[in-house]
Amino acid sequence: MLELNKWFFVLAVNFFILLFILNAILFRPLLKLFKEREDTVKGALDASKEMANKREESIARLNRELAEARSKAKGTFEALKAEGINTQKEVLSATDSEASQILDKAKAEIRAEAEKARNALRADIDKFSDEIVRKLVRV
């Protein structure tokens, strides 16, 4: 059977004293260090998740603002395009009417010149006919 002598009790007391000293000096600080490390990692993970959520919200907000800006720019572009088309129509209309006026004026000038030329030729026709008659009579 098991003998219990004084060395057994000395070793048991020594074991418990060493366990108490190691617990105070080594185990508690290590456990505290592990707990702090776990809390730090957990805090970093939480902060990372929070930043990821903020990033997603910022991206969504940015996309909304970009869509609004595109829509606004498209509306402005369409308005300016319509204004440009109207201005173009007005300019073309004004140019067309001005060209018609110039063309009518040119036609009137050509008619006047043609009438002058006819009148000049009529006067010359009388001279030429008289001359032709005289030449024919001489021959």
DSSP collapsed to 3 states, 46-113: HHHHHHHHHHHHHHHHHHHHHHHHHHHHHHHHHHHHHHHHHHHHHHHHHHHHHHHHHHHHHHHHHHHH
| Within a domain: 64 | yes
| Within a domain: 44 | yes
The pLDDT of residue 139: 61
| Within a domain: 133 | no
C-alpha distances (whole Å) from 105 to each of 16, 111, 115, 119 are 127, 10, 15, 21
| Within a domain: 136 | no
Tally of domains within the chain: 1
Positions of the chain with pLDDT lower than 70, given as ranges: 1-2, 139
| Within a domain: 121 | no
The pLDDT of residue 1: 52
Question: Residue 54 has which token pair?
Answer: 């903020």
The pLDDT of residue 66: 97
CA distance 68 to 61: 10
| Within a domain: 41 | yes
| Within a domain: 3 | no
The pLDDT of residue 8: 83
Domain housing 92:
8-104
| Within a domain: 117 | no
The pLDDT of residue 129: 83
